[in-house]
Chain A
Amino acid sequence: MGEAVATPGIAGQAPAQLFSRESSGLVRVGSPWRMLLLNVANIGVVYIMFTYWAHPAVFPESNLLIAIPVAASMALFFNLLYGMFSAIMPRTGSEYVFLSRTFHPAIGFMASFAAATSQAFYVGIGGYWISQYVLGPLLTSYGAVSGNETISSLGVWASDPQTHFMFGTLFVVLVAALNILGLKAYLRFQDINWIIGTLTGLLLIVIFLFASQTAFQAGFDRYAAATGIPTYQGTLDLAKESGMPTGFSLKDTLGIIPIIWLVAWASTYIGGEVRTPVKTQLRATVGGMLLYAGIAFGLWFAISRPVTTEFNQALTWLSYNYAGDQTVEAYPVFILYAGVLIDNLALFLLVGAGLVLWSYLWIPSAMLIATRAMFAWSFDRVMPDKLSAVHSRYNSPWVAVLVVAVIGELFLILYHLGVFQFLTPALAYYFVFWLVALCGLLFPFLPRTKVLLQGSAVDWRVAGIPVMSICGAIGLLFFTIGLYFMLTNDLLFLNSPQQLLTTGLQFAIPLVLFFVVRYYRKRQGLPIDAAFKEIPPE
């Protein structure tokens, strides 16, 4: 379709410009702002919660107010790398596309499979966490502090593992239904949730900023009395008696940096569907990460005023390390702190509803990523045709959605049975990110890929060194350190045999599967790896 349109040029002035009309071939779905929000949504408020809980627990001499900005400044380069990759290869599939074309289709499929199964894991346990880490602590703490028995009993109900499982299953069904309704339906849902999330976040910041340490301490003490855990001061004392290292150490602060999840890359999975890919992807990845880091920093800044860093570290450290007889708080999440501080039922209900919706925001995007990856595999015939079947009415990959829902539910069952820990998918993803960073480092120099960079709008150099390689090198360092901590620190629960086996299978299964499929397809007369390769023009 199409014909050229001329704009008037005026003789003797600046050169006139001729440009094409905006034809169907130039228009894509996915505006820059929505892609940025998709990226932030995919990291999710739940990860903010873990950042405040798990990281101080594992690295008690750290300071989040230093760690978050330093981590963001380092992660900026890796997010830029994803944006650059997607600008050079604006196609659906993210790592699948980048690694396939740079290294080998088997590596691309392997990484993409690991990423998609990790996202399917989140689809399964996302709802579980809403009950476990949002509703349970919020209802319990508010109920205990306010003396509202109805809410207290709801808190007990929400804290029951069977309720967690029920929520998990319910949300798998809801998220599958939303994804079957298509990308546009998802984006509308995202819009609504973002408005609610923003208002909730602002409300929380205001609540924490204007609360005093005395008020928090008094509220926490009432909560402690009702639940039988140590009081505010008792928590600090117990942590000290139990040997928690105190004070600030650069080593612990640096330890947090590579494991703070600051990769805003969901939009690169739908790279073929975004408008103006260069501008959109660069803004969405870098801007998305900065926005997320800003939210994480701002919220923590507000929380740390009434709660104090020392108390959070003591409470979280005890939840991970305490081996004595006394009952300690199992889920010391910031949501609990909010419940302790809020003393008004209407405000509590408002914040509670907002937090539930905000926490839900990331689950559909996780499914979006997993289904897009599966769609891409199917399109390339690595997986069966049926996976790329598109719903005639909603234009969504409905079969892939159902497959992800089933895998998510299986992960949910295994998580409920205690087979997996919450960071299990992160280990697989860190290996994937490590591969992508290596890919970025080498991309400008490999004969098959350097021409792609040179022909792109992101062939930037600093002192003659490709920016892409610089980003790759920093990313490689970032994730090598991150993997080192994940594999050596027992408190991250990622180096147990079943965790390593799970992660190993996430990579080994697709690797074997790829070569089996390739052999089968080659016998049929169509080599599947041809679909990944750039045809030499000469």
Chain B
Amino acid sequence: MTAGAERTIFYVADIHGSDVCFRKWLNAGRFYGADVLVIGGDLTGKILLPIYPAPGGNGSWTATWRGRQVHLETRTAVDELIRTARDEGSYGYVTTVDEVAAIQASPDLERSTFTRLKLEALAEWMRLADQRLADGSIRAVVMAGNDDPPEIDAVLATSTRLEDIGGDVVEIASGIHMASVGESTPTPWHTPRELPDGELGERIAQTVDRLPPGGTAIWNLHMPPHATGIDAAPELDAGLRVQYDSGGEPRMRPVGSHSIKRLVEERQPTLALHGHIHEGRGRYKLGRTVGINPGSQYQDGVLMGVLVRVSPSSGVRDVTFTAG
């Protein structure tokens, strides 16, 4: 525990179902000496890995993994692949070719299957969190991000140790408060929690209006502000293909929220924590506000994070980026 009223916050975002990243996050409090652990949205994964009985009916399985077809002789090998895939944020799913064909023929079935796997995995995480954080010495807060389906809110509520702070204002310590909003502006993929930029600004304004005056105000917003260096993403065409320049490099452009930028400039929170753009690891300064995006490298099992020491009177005392 940090001395006095200062608090050390360990913030990550966009772990996207990576089991090993979540487990590391749970251990990060003791490891880094942090008082508060935060996941700023996008908890659930994006990839489903079907594992099929191999043709020929000899009791083995097969799957396409890391671009290659792998053959799994035993159920132990299947379980091992599922564990490895989970560490990289993929949901291994033992199924049949026919079932996958049915899923692909029905968007509803696809969504329900995917959501079921996400919820099962998240429920496991809640149980693990309750075990590891049982002594209550480290506070752990999470919120859903734009990629997380609404159904996960109910699963998050089952935890006794993790607090779902999405849409809320919470006191981190005396004189240090955090307001959290996990929605993003519209993306080309039409993710579950998106709002037009104006509406997102209104929602954030309504949330931060509940922050008490004075002290240290932390805005925990999944979406980054526009053109702050932490929001550059590749340009896409209508077919969602990345656009490259003549030299073969992706054309990057700022995709952050104009409303958030305006609000940050106007209201000057002490600290703004963001995610959403995985390669946007970095920080910005807008007036007195320090803004941070720790980036994400969940596919490699690397937990990209940031340790921020905050004080009610002095604001942000220190920022250290981590790659654990």
Contacts and interface: CB of A to CB of B under 8 A. Distances in A.
Interface of A: 1-4, 6-31, 33-34, 90-91, 184, 187-188, 191, 272, 275, 379-381, 385, 390, 392, 395, 455, 457, 524-528, 530-538
Interface stretch (B63-71, B164-172, B205-213, B264-272): B63-71
Contacts of A18: 47-50, 100
B279 A530 contact: no
Interface stretch (B119-127, B136-144, B183-191): B183-191
Interface stretch (B154-162, B174-182, B195-203, B245-253): B245-253
Contacts of A15: 50, 52, 62-64, 69, 97
A384 to B, nearest CB: 12
B247 A187 contact: yes
B274 interface: no
B63 A457 contact: no
Contacts of A184: 245, 247, 249
Given A8-B101, A379-B321, A535-B25, 6 more contacts: A2-B46, A9-B100, A15-B63, A34-B249, A184-B249, A526-B318
B103 interface: yes
A25 B100 contact: no
B319 to A, nearest CB: 8
Contacts of A2: 16, 46, 147, 189, 191
Nearest to A533: B324
Contact of A24 (B33, B69, B278): B278
Main secondary structure of the interface of B (DSSP, over half): mixed
Contacts of B24: 534-537
A1 B191 contact: yes
Contacts of A13: 97
Contacts of B98: 11
B14 A19 contact: no
Interface of B: 2-3, 6, 8, 14, 16, 20, 23-25, 27-28, 31-33, 42, 46-50, 52, 55, 62-64, 66, 69, 84, 87, 97-98, 100-101, 103-104, 110, 114, 146-147, 184, 187, 189-191, 229, 232-234, 240-242, 245, 247-250, 252, 255, 276-279, 281-282, 296-303, 307, 309, 317-324
A25 B42 CA distance: 12
A530 B322 contact: yes
17 contacts: A1-B42, A1-B276, A3-B189, A11-B97, A13-B97, A16-B104, A18-B47, A24-B234, A31-B248, A184-B249, A390-B282, A527-B32, A528-B320, A531-B307, A535-B27, A536-B31, A537-B20
Q: Which of A3, A21, A26 has the most CB of B within 10 A?
A: A3
Contacts of B249: 29-31, 34, 184, 187
Contact of A536 (B27, B63, B110, B276): B27
B47 A20 contact: yes
A66 to B, nearest CB: 37
Contacts of A4: 46-48, 114
A25 B296 contact: yes
A455 B62 contact: no
Given A1-B276, A11-B101, A16-B97, A395 B322 contact: no
Contacts of A17: 50, 64
8 nearest A-B pairs in the assembled complex, by CB-CB distance: A25-B278, A535-B324, A537-B23, A535-B24, A24-B233, A31-B248, A17-B64, A2-B46
B97 A23 contact: no
Given A10-B101, A18-B48, A455 B87 contact: yes
A8 B103 CA distance: 9
Contacts of B64: 15, 17
A11 B52 CA distance: 11
A181 to B, nearest CB: 14
Contact of B97 (A9, A31, A392, A538): A9
Given A9-B100, A18-B100, A34 B46 contact: no
A400 B184 CA distance: 33
B317 to A, nearest CB: 8
Main secondary structure of the interface of A (DSSP, over half): loop
A56 B298 CA distance: 50
B229 A390 contact: yes
A380 B104 contact: no
Given A12-B97, A19-B47, A525-B3, A3 B191 contact: yes
Contacts of A22: 240-242
A191 B97 CA distance: 47
A397 to B, nearest CB: 11
Contacts of A533: 31, 324
Contact of B8 (A191, A380, A526): A526
Given A27-B250, A531-B321, A455 B301 contact: yes
Nearest to A33: B248
A97 to B, nearest CB: 8
A182 B36 CA distance: 36
Contact of A20 (B2, B46, B52, B103): B46
Contacts of A527: 32-33
A6 B110 contact: yes
Given A20-B46, A381-B320, A535-B28, A455 B97 contact: no
B279 A27 contact: yes
Contacts of B301: 455
A31 to B, nearest CB: 4
A532 B303 CA distance: 12
Nearest to B281: A272
Nearest to A381: B320
